[in-house]
Structure formats: C-alpha cells, structure tokens
Structure 1
Amino acid sequence: MSTTAELLKGAAELFPDEVVTQAHVRHLDLPGAGRFALITLDNGFDHTKPTTFGPQSLANLDLALDQVEKEASEGTIVGVGITGKPFIFAVGADLKGMEVLKHHEDARAVGKGGHDVFKRIAALAVPSFAYYNGAAMGGGVEAGLHCQYRTVSAATPAFSFPEVFLGLVPGWGGCTILPNLIGADRAVTVIVENALNQNRQLKGAQVFELGIADAIFEGADFLEQSLLWTASVLKGELQVVRPAVDRGEAWDLAVERGRAFADSKVHGAAPAAYRALDIIAGVKDGDLQAGFDAEDAALADLAMSGELRSGIYAFNLVQKRGKRPVGAPDKSLARPVTKVGVVGAGLMASQLALLFLRRLEVPVVLTDIDQARVDKGVGYVHDEIDKLLLKSRINQDKANRLKALVTGVLDKAEGFADADFVIEAVFEEMSVKQQVFAEVEAVAPAHAILATNTSSLSVSEMASKLKNPERVVGFHFFNPVAILPLLEIVRGEQTDDASLATAFGVAKKLRKTAVLVKDAPAFVVNRVLTRFMGEIQNVIDEGTPVEVAERAVEPLGLPMSPLVLLELVGPAIGLHVSQTLHDAFPDRFTVSENLAAVVKAGKRGFYVHDSGKPELDPEVVALLKQGDTVLDEEQVRVRVLDAVAREIGLMLDEHVVAEAQDVDLCLITGAGWPFHLGGLTPYLDREGVSERVNGKPFLAPGVASVPA
C-alpha cells in the first residue's frame, strides 16, 4: 500500500458518515488521437446530493489514478480527462467530516492527502484535462486546476472557492496554482473578494473570461464538444496559449488590495482571508511545492479554529435548518394561493408585489389611498420587469405576462374579493394596521390569509378586533426584499395551523428562509439589533466618543458598523423600534434623546459621505448631548456583548424561537451577520460571554466548536 493510500485509510476513520464519491474509468477512442481515459466523479445520480471529497472519496480517485498512470506509462492511452455526473463536477471537501476533527495532525492529514492525490494528476505522463460540466467549488475546482487543460460548460451555475467564507483556505492547490495560472489580481478576486462578498459565485462564461478554463461549450453537448476539442489539442491542431503572468509589482499590489478588502469586511477578526493572502504572496516565484506545504499548514491551523466551526455551523443552518423550518405545521394543511393582494403601494409594498409576482406568477393587485400612489406602485413593478428583460433574465413573452398580472385599484372590495393572500405594508402604527385589516376582512374571502409585514408590533393585538383572528399571521420581510433571504413568520395567539401552513407554503415558493417566531415585541432580528445598537447609543449618550464606540465592535468583523447600519435601516425606523421595545421592556431598552434629535432634524444618519468614506456629520455632532462617562473600546465591547447575550438568553427563556440556532439563522439571513461568527451565539460562547452573563453556553460542546 502506498504512503498516500495509508494516509487516506487512516483519515477515513475520522469521517464515518462520508458520502463516498466513486471515480469510474472508461476508455474512448478520440478520432485521429487515440485511446483516451475518462474519469467520472460520481456519488450516485441523485442530483440533490453534490459530489464531495472525503478521505475514502480521495482514495477512490487515487485508485483510478493508479490505473491510468500505469496505462500512461505503458503508452496505451494518449490522455486523461476528469468530469462529473450530470450538472455537478464536484463541490469540494466533505464538511461533515471537517466539523468532527479533533486534532491538528488529523486536519493536516486530510490536507496532505488531498494534495498527494491531486498532484498525481499533474505528474501523469500524458496530458490531463478537466471538464467542468456543472457546479464546481473548493476541492472540485482544485482537482481541475491540477490538470493541464480545462473546459467549462456555459451552463455552469456556480463556480467558486467558498473556503474563506467558511473560515478555511483553498487548501488542495487553489491558493498556489490559481495565481500562477491567471495572475494574483484575478486570483485574489476569486479566492478572497468573492468569498467575503457572501460567497459570490462565478458563471461558466466568467470562468472562461478569467482564464481558468481554456475553452467554453454549451451545456447540451458539453462533453462531446470538449472531447472533440481535446482531440484537436492532442493532435497538435490546436495550441492553447495563455497570457504571461505578471510576477512584478502587480502581484504585490494585488495582495495589498486583498488585505485592504479583508480589513474592510472582517477587520482582522477572522484569519482565513489573511492566511490565503499570505500563501498567494509566497508563491510569487512559482514554487508550487512551497505553496502546497503552506496550504497544509494553514488548513490544519484553521480546521482547529472557532471561526471554521462557526462557519460550518452557519453553513448547515442555512442549507439544512433553513430549508426545513422548525415548528412549521404539516404542509398538507396549506391552502392554494391563486391571487395576492397588497395593501399599500409605497416602496416596501411595491417590492413585495414584485416578489410575489415573480415567484408565484399569479395575479397581484395593489391598493392605496389615491390613484397617483397606486399608479406609482404598479409603475415600479413594470420598471423592474423591464430591467430584468434588459438583462436577459426573462424573455419578452414572460415580461408581457408578468406585467399583465399586476394591477392597482382604489377599491379593496374590487381588488380583494377573490384574493387568497393579502399582505399589508402600511405605516407602522397599530391603529392604522387594525383599520386596514378590518377593511380587508370585510371584503376578502373567508379563507384568505391576512398577513402583516410589521417589524415590531403585536400580531395578536392587530388581529384582536377581527371576527376571524385565526387567519392573521406575521410575515416580516427584510429590506432589500429581493436580497435578504429571511422571512420571520409570526404566529399570533389565535393563528390556526392551516393559516400558518399556508404562510410557510408561500414562503417556500418565494424562496425565502422562513423561521417560526413567537408573537413577541420586535420578534428576533430587530430585538437583537436594537439591544446591540441601543447599547452603542447608550455609551455615546453617556460620553464615549462616537469613533471609540464604533471601533469597539470591529473585532466581531461585522459587515458594517452600528451607525452605518442605522443609516441603512433609517434613524426613524430605529427610533420607532426602540420605542416599541422600551414600552415592552423599559428596564433594558432605552430611547435615545440624541437619536430622537437626529430624526427630528431630518438627518439620514450620523455620517456624511462627501469624501467617499463615512465621516461624522458636523450638524449631527452639534446636536449630540453627551455626559462625562468615557469608556475605552474594551469596556464598550464587554458592555455591548453582555447586553446581547442577556437579551438572547431572555428570548430563549420566553420561547421566542425554538433554539439558539434559530437566532443565529435569523441574524445570518436577515441582517447579513458573517458566517465566521456563526450568527452570534457561537462567538458569545467562544469569548466566554454566555457563561459570564447567563451561567451557561448557548450551544452544546461540539456544536460550532471543536469536539471535546
């Protein structure tokens, strides 16, 4: 048994639940070129299960390479190709195995095992080809990078290195080979920038344009065309010429750009991006083996880090828990929705109308208090459809069909008499919403769901004056509606199972991550964020300089600072939510007089952006009234984290959601909190805040942490 085989056999014992990938070898006669070996990566033709690489899967590829290496050395084949099962090439390492690793040396064995197998591809005595026939991520991309030539399907929907997003580095050749193939600047974009931009994916055409693939073919006959292209290369009819890589100052500038970008995203709080950039910087001279060794070391170090465990935890929340909502009623109870009504025609209502229209493709009707508002709302939807047409996201027939499905009326009776689902998005005032629901109940069918997009008000109180309060449900979207996945579905005191099941059914069709939430003030995201931002505001009001308070939470690596987030949300909305929570919990939530002054002055936030970066608005500074208690950054950070840990603990005691995992899922998908935090509770556990404040961690040992 070879050293690599022994290494993989030992590592396989650490991955008992691995979904094993097979590597099937078959032989083809390429016209005019000769006998060709094609390796197909396949873990079963269930397209819902992507092909991954754990130790046993790598061992299977190693065995296949034994065969083709022998054939290549004997001269019985002219080349080797690697492809995947339909629509999927391979999507990288088996994360289920990574999260159970306990020891540094085990993680290093996994890294070295992948390198040892993939390096054999590059060392073959005949040319090697990768055919990216579908989704390719992480280790899947790296398997192809070790080949001499690559083609990509134009239909490839997702191609990326997600490792930095999760808290790792591309550790099987990605950090080393990619910059040496396409240059450091492009490699930094793919490995660091795309990853930290919420794991942005490349399409097939982009993979080709970047120079990762040498040729691109349509999806329908991709493999056939790739093999014909391969034959041309092998016969010498086609020369693949790649541009020279700039190994001078441009390489160094690319790494510097990557560090600046990482600083802007994680503020030094998560190590993965910086380790990846260190490796890219170190392979400027083209020494691949030195790069591979650095990847092994980085992979082993990061696999034992809290950031990786939090990243995998967050990934599992989004990909698993988010797709199977905890507490949702039996879906068989859901009623069909064939027409949607939207009360209001402002920006939020218009965004909702567009979303329902695109996803459900049923008639959508908007109402408002005057014709001008109605026309503006319908016009917004039409304009957005035209933009989709312009970008070739839809064709002309579909654009026409969608436009015909959206209408606007002033009379609710005319618009909602046959609606199955009516959602309101009007002014955030209880009396206004109660009046709207009373008017809708009077004209809508008895089975129609009445949904509210309230961000903080009581759904039960909103329904309390209706004849049929059991059909009222909270349906809280997050802005921008088209981008943020979260939908907090709120069960009122009298909401029945059929209404709730219908709401979850609609959420699934809208492609939203639905989380069941108890009818409690501000629900989940707004309650946590208001406590978080409220404590920042408190220390500013008491005398701490704004810049100190902002810098204090930079170690969390949040996507934006608290006051920039306040600007995005809108100071008036922030003030309203803080007032709602102060009314409910006056001992913990305050209403800042300074924030009230900012709102009264009509300011959009604390900053101006005239110079291209946020700077404190002098007019806002003049409004601030501060005390004389000045805290340093560490004191501010402790106070803020203690406050949110206490609030989450109270929310769980109140059963606002089922578990801490739901709080994290909400923060990730509704507020864009980073994967390396795992939302928030893993970070609070890791920093000892949970234990200090609540006397116990939020999560069990081994959940988002290294197993004991």
Structure 2
Amino acid sequence: MSSPVVLEKHGSIGVILVQNPPVNALSQAVRQGLADRLAEAIADDDIKGVVLAGDGRTFIAGADIREFGKPMQAPDLNSVIRAYEESPKPVVAAIHGTALGGGLETAFAAHYRVAVAKSFVGLPEVKLGLLPGAGGTQRLPRVAGVKTALDMITSGDMVPAPKAREAGIVDEIVDDLIPGAVAFAEKLVAEGAPLKVISAGRGKLDEADPAIFDEYRAQVAKKARGVLAPQNCIAAVEAAVKASSFEDGLKRERELFAELMESPQRAAQIHIFFGEREVAKIPDLPKGTEAKKIGKVAIIGCGTMGGGIAMNFANVGIPVTIVENEQAALDRGFGIIRKNYENSAKRGRFPMDEVEKRMGRLTPTTSYDDIADADIVIEAVFEEMGLKKEIFAKLDQVMKPGAVLATNTSTLDIDEIASATKRPEDVIGTHFFSPANVMRLLENVRGEKSSPETIQTVMDMGKKIGKVAVLAGNCHGFIGNRMLHPYRRQAEFLVEEGAQPEDIDRVIYDFGFAMGPFAMGDLAGLDVGYRVRQHQLKTWPQGKRYSSLGDKIVEMGRHGQKTGAGWFLYEEGDRTPKPDPVIKELIEKHAAEAGLKRRAVSDEEILERCIYALVNEGAKILEEGIAIRPVDIDITYVYGYAFPKHRGGPMHYADHVGLDKVLARIRHFHEISGEDEWKPAKLIEDLVAQGKGFKDFTR
C-alpha cells in the first residue's frame, strides 16, 4: 500500500507532501510517512533543505478522529516532531487552510514556518476536553509568549495567519504556497541560516508576569465552571515557564493530558464533537436527495425572533426581505438589528463598514407581494395557531411553486399549520432559539407530509448559516420543549414540597447550566409560559398534578426581569436574581392551601428529579421516533438549553451515571408520587434488562 506522504524534488529543496484527504489528519500511516520521507530527504545529498506541506485544501488539521480512544500505534507524534527538530537540513513548514492541534504542533517541529494569508492556526483540543499532547503547551508560549499561548490554548480558537505572523508563530506570509516556501528554504540554505529549534531555548517564557496564571484560572473558572480541560491547559503552560527544562515541562504536559484522557468530561465532549456530525445524517431520506437552492429568504415578523433569524442569513451574504404589518414595527425591528450589528463591530468582531454591508442585505416591506420570489419563507410571529394558519394560507397563495414554507413555532403542530396550505410537502418547522442570531441550535421539525427535499433543504440551510441542525418529529414541544416541561414541573413541585427557588437554581447552576429554571423563566418572561399553560389547562388530564404557583406569580403582575420581579427580585440595571420574602410567603401559603406538608429537600433529590425527568421524557421521545438517536437529544440540550457540554447531554449523562441506577431512582419517584410522568420509559427498562445504555440504542 502506498504511503499518504510523498517526497518531491524542487531543485535543491525536498518537498514532503501529506496526501491524506480530506484534512490530512495525522493517522498512523501519515506519522510513519512523515518520519520515512524525512529520513529519505536527509539521506539524499542533492536535497539541501526541506519543505513540509499538505496537499489538497489544507495543511494538517489535527489528529485522526478515527483513532480516538484506541491505543497509540508507533510512531507517536512526539517522536516524529523530535526527528524534524533534529534534522541537519533546514525544515520549513508551509501552511495553508488550517494547521490545527497536532498539525500546528507538527509545524512547530520545523525550523521555520511560512503561511498564506488566508490560512489559520490553532490548538482546539480544549473543545474536546483535552490539551495539546505533543508539546503544544510548551512550544507555543516559547514562540508567541505566555499570554498569547494561554488565550489560544484555553479558548481553542483559531488565529488568522497575519495575526500569527505578528505573534511570532509564523515567520513569513507568502502569496503562492509551494513556490513561496521553496524560495524561502532556498534563501535559508544560501545564507546558512541557523536551524531554530523551539524546544532548545526558553524563547519568550521569561517575559511573562507570574501573576498571569492565577488571573487566567479565575477567568476560566467563571467562563467554564467545573470544566477540567482549560484548567489543565493553564497548568501545562505554567509548567513551560517553571520547569527546569523543556523535557520536564513536556513530562508535566503528558501527565496533565493523561488526567484528561481518563476524565468523563473528555468522553462527554468528544461525544458532543462526534454528535454534531452525526445529527446531520438523516437515515430515512432517499440516497441522493438534493436540497433546494436558497438564494433569497423572506421572514414574516420583525420582532426579536424575526430580526435575529434575518441576521443569520445577512451574515453569510444571503438577501432577506422582512414583512411586517406596520411600518412602525419594521422601523423598530430594523433599529434593533442595526444596534446589534454596531455593538458587534464595537467589540471588534468585524469592521464598522461591515454593518452597512449586512444591513444592505435586508429589505423591509409591508406587502406579501414583495416576497413571492423567495426560495424560503420563515414565519416568526406570535405563538398562536389561528394567526399562523392565517399567515400560511396567505403564503400558499403568494409564494412561488416549490418554495419552502417554514414556521418558527416552538411547540405547535406542524401538520395543522400545513393544513392551511395546498402544499404540505413544502411545509416544515424551523425552530430557532433566542437570541436567534447567537444560539447555535436549529431544531428542524418535519411534518407528516414534509418532502425529503424540504427536509434536506433546512438541514443544509442550518449548516450554511452556522447552526447545528437537529431534525425532530412532530409533537407538542418537539424534542427540546417537550422535555423541558417535566423538568420545569419537577422544579415547581420541589418548591411546593419544601425547597426554595434559589435552592433549585443553585443546584442546577452548580451542575453546570448557565442558570436554573426559575432564573431562566424570569429571563424569558413568565407571561409567555403562562399563556401556554392556560391553553394546556383546557385539555389537562383529570387527576394529573399541576402547580399553579407560577400562574399566581404572573397574576400578581410579576413577569420576570422585564417587570423587575418574578420568582426573584431584580434591581434596575442589575440582572442578578435576589430571593424575595414575598415569594417565600406565597409558597408557604400555597402549600398550606394545597394541603402539602413542606419538608427538607436535599440537593441530591433536586438534581435527580430535575435531570432524570429530562432523561425519562427523552427516552419516551426516542420510543416514539420523535428523535432519531439519543445524540440528537444531547445535541439539542447542549446547544439549545445550555446543558453543560462537559456532561455530554442528558442521555449521555444517564449512561455515565449508570442507566440501571437512573432507572432505580425513576422507579422510586414513580412509587412515592404515583405520577404517570414518572412511569419509567419502556426503552429504559428494556436497555437495562439487556445490560445496555443509550449508547447502544439502534432502530
């Protein structure tokens, strides 16, 4: 079998080319090829210098993910890197596309690095619950300084080549990759330039302020509560500064890397990494199903959701026409969009002139006739079935044949909405999360008659606008909100039984959520959920437990942050929730009227009842086929509901705890409550009986 690494001669320069598409990942065969081709280049007297490059669209974008979790086969990357460092002939790494993770660590083995201007470098391992394990934490601070290294390694973000040049990561920007790199190598040979081995000296290490590590630990503790990987990254960079030698620092890096490899957080984050790719695959779509072309977009509604949705398309160069009933609503919505863009520009996310470019892609109108030629229309109005059906009947008359008719509903029946049209095959749900221009999840919801082409279109659309798209089936609340309802109900029941709202929010926050259910409700607006519940009460099953506590709070005029009071109190200009004696008194009065004897509620019970309610409902959703796979639920909750990524989503977390243990607690809560909601999902019982977990689930 031929090697995925070849050696070509360009005059006196040997070009070692990695040919392992699509991203030239560092598989065992690539590592062996890198070592073998270098040995050949060194042995060839006609070769005076070496260029290391990647063929195709990129340099080396990191490790081979197919080898994750498997024993490392020789040669390991550290030994390959050492061989390149020790080359008696100058080695130049030529970067295009991306040099990420092990790819950048390999580039650091070269004596010099050149890059094309549009390339990127980075060490993204922290996003997988890991740290750079082949000397990245030791070499990067030597060439770029400790602060730059900490920024790059703890965030995992990519850096464009021009900034990498400024930082010292790249020596020169070239216009034409291979010719430019070869010319650079020829110049080194002609001048007898020194072979710069990063690991041979301290570089910029001694420029660091010793206090910087504690500063970054505090920052990381706030941004990534309870997450081990960024803290270990800091410790590894600190070892580069404090260790007596490069080898000692490298040894400490390996120890910290091994600790992360054994951590359940690493398994959870890699689960999410693979999950993002898995959810894009829709197994029941006919092979070769093609998405419809989306060149023009229409949005119905210019409120918070409509404006945010429109921004996603304007950001990637797709023109959008936004429809509102009144000019005043359009003006107000466009003003908010402009303000959002200007704030982003002020924060340095893009140049200020980009604001006008993006605003220029948005067209306001009060006439449906102006959107007739759009390829997709997304309705984003108030969550009321009658209103949505009225709009879809109008869209059915106006939109061109084949246009996708999408609704941003978060709970309502897609099929009923589609019934207002004569083309249900073109109707689908596209549930964006607020703020729509920020949140990464797009929960697409297929109706009974949604065509394969319509489904493929919105799945591809999600990727194009930078979302993680998950496909859900049609039921009340779909995946995310259907599971959220029992989670929130358990939180309110726990308050009725003896806990305080701040107790529950603290436990959920400490688990890793951005906020607990009560602070989240206050942020979203309690009146929104109130209206949904009042509608649900019309068909509420007799005898099913219902907490009216939240209703009473809304009826007191407390709608959350926007009124300065909800479950908590809020001071003007301060979003910090503060416990309110009025609510405590209301809870006690409510419990007494309901005949409930309040008791002490442990943190363990709070966590189990809230999280296992998610798990049990998620299993029922899988049984019904509303979710395709357990990972679709995990991705939905990580990217739509801020479930802590380092715990892998509710279904992965249940496997981590042990599905048999989770089932035992669900049975316990069912026994003591008698609530149907706690009846164990048959899928959980079946999996436990077979000694399996959600990871083993197949259809």
> Which runs of 5 or more structure 2 residues have no equivalent in the other structure?
592-597, 667-683
Residue aligning to 1:603: 564
* CA distance in 2: counterparts of 1:308 and 1:641, whole angstroms: 20
| Residues 33-84 of structure 1, C-alpha deviations (whole Å, 9 max, x = no match) | xx4443222215xxxx10111223212222223334546xxx8655443222
User: Does the alignment pair 1:477 with 2:432?
Assistant: yes
Match of residue 473, structure 2, among 512, 515, 518: 518
TM-score of the pair, normalised by structure 2:
0.80
* CA distance in 2: counterparts of 1:697 and 1:574, whole angstroms: 34
User: Does the alignment pair 1:451 with 2:406?
Assistant: yes
Aligned identity (percent) is 25
The structure showing larger relative contact order (alpha-carbon pairs under 8 Å, at least 6 residues apart) is 1
The residue correspondences of 1:124-523 to structure 2 (distance < 5 A) are 124-156=87-119, 158-192=120-154, 194-195=155-156, 200-215=157-172, 217-218=173-174, 220-233=175-188, 245-247=204-206, 250-251=209-210, 253-268=211-226, 270-286=227-243, 287-318=245-276, 320-328=277-285, 332=289, 339-357=296-314, 359=316, 361=318, 364-378=320-334, 406-412=362-368, 414-445=369-400, 447-466=402-421, 468-497=423-452, 499-500=454-455, 502-504=457-459, 506-507=461-462, 509-510=464-465, 512-523=467-478
Equivalent position SS for 2:282: coil
Distance 1:445 1:611, change over 3 A: closer
| Residues 601-638 of structure 1, C-alpha deviations (whole Å, 9 max, x = no match) | 82377475889884526588678635643323222112
Q: How far has the Cα of 1:546 moved from its partner?
A: 4.2
Q: What is the one-letter code of the residue matched to 2:35?
A: D
Distance 1:610 1:146, change over 3 A: farther
Q: How far has the Cα of 1:302 moved from its partner?
A: 3.3
Q: How far has the Cα of 1:133 moved from its partner?
A: 2.4
**What is the aligned length?**
654
Residue aligning to 2:677: none
| Residues 505-541 of structure 1, C-alpha deviations (whole Å, 9 max, x = no match) | 6545545443322211111122334443443444345
The residue correspondences of 1:532-543 to structure 2 (distance < 5 A) are 532-543=487-498
Q: What is the one-letter code of the residue matched to 1:180?
A: R
Equivalent position SS for 2:209: helix
User: Does the alignment pair 1:42 with 2:19?
Assistant: yes
| Residues 194-215 of structure 1, C-alpha deviations (whole Å, 9 max, x = no match) | 13xxxx3222223223332233
Equivalent position SS for 2:36: helix
* CA distance in 1: counterparts of 2:465 and 2:361, whole angstroms: 17
TM-score of the pair, normalised by structure 1:
0.79
Distance 1:638 1:581, change over 3 A: farther
| Residues 199-247 of structure 1, C-alpha deviations (whole Å, 9 max, x = no match) | x3222223223332233x15x4244344444455555598999996354
Q: How far has the Cα of 1:337 moved from its partner?
A: 5.4
User: Does the alignment pair 1:23 with 2:15?
Assistant: no
What is the root-mean-square deviation of aligned Cα atoms in Å? 4.1
Match of residue 666, structure 1, among 636, 642, 645: 636
* CA distance in 2: counterparts of 1:237 and 1:570, whole angstroms: 69
* CA distance in 1: counterparts of 2:2 and 2:509, whole angstroms: 41
Residue aligning to 1:682: 652
Residue aligning to 1:96: 66
> Which runs of 5 or more structure 1 residues have no equivalent in the other structure?
1-18, 30-34
Q: In the alignment, is the contact (CA less than 8 A) between 1:388 and 1:394 conserved in 2?
A: no
Q: In the alignment, is the contact (CA less than 8 A) between 2:18 and 2:30 conserved in 1?
A: no
* CA distance in 1: counterparts of 2:262 and 2:202, whole angstroms: 39
Q: How far has the Cα of 1:141 moved from its partner?
A: 0.9
Distance 1:546 1:40, change over 3 A: same
Q: How far has the Cα of 1:383 moved from its partner?
A: 7.2
Distance 1:648 1:61, change over 3 A: same
Equivalent position SS for 1:352: helix
